[in-house]
Amino acid sequence: MPNYRRMRVPGGTYFFTVALADRRSSLLVERVELLRGSVQRVRELRPFHIDA
């Protein structure tokens, strides 16, 4: 995975996409509760909000 440089700006906005290596897989739909739980755990440690 590339080591991207990130500009650290308090209150900055970031865009990210979640995708699987196998784009034909329906795993993200079938197991979306695992993704939601992971996001919630991270939000507890590093508070943020999702605009969309």
Please write the tens of the pLDDT for every residue from 23-37. 999 998 999 999 999
Long-range contacts of 46-52 (CB under 8 A, 24+ apart): 51/13
The pTM of this model reads 0.64
Alpha carbon distance 47, 44 (integer Å): 6
Q: Is residue 51 included in any domain, yes or no?
A: yes
Residue 14 lies in a domain: no
pLDDT band, residue 1 (cuts 50/70/90): low
Q: Among candidates 32, 34, 52, 51, which has minimal Cα distance to 42?
A: 34
Residue 17 forms part of a structural domain? no
| Domain assignment of residue 7, yes or no | no
Domain enclosing residue 50, as ranges: 22-52
Angular region, 11: left φ>0, alpha ψ -120 to 50, beta rest: left
* Mean of the per-residue pLDDT values of the chain: 87
Domain count, the chain: 1
9 part of a folded domain: no
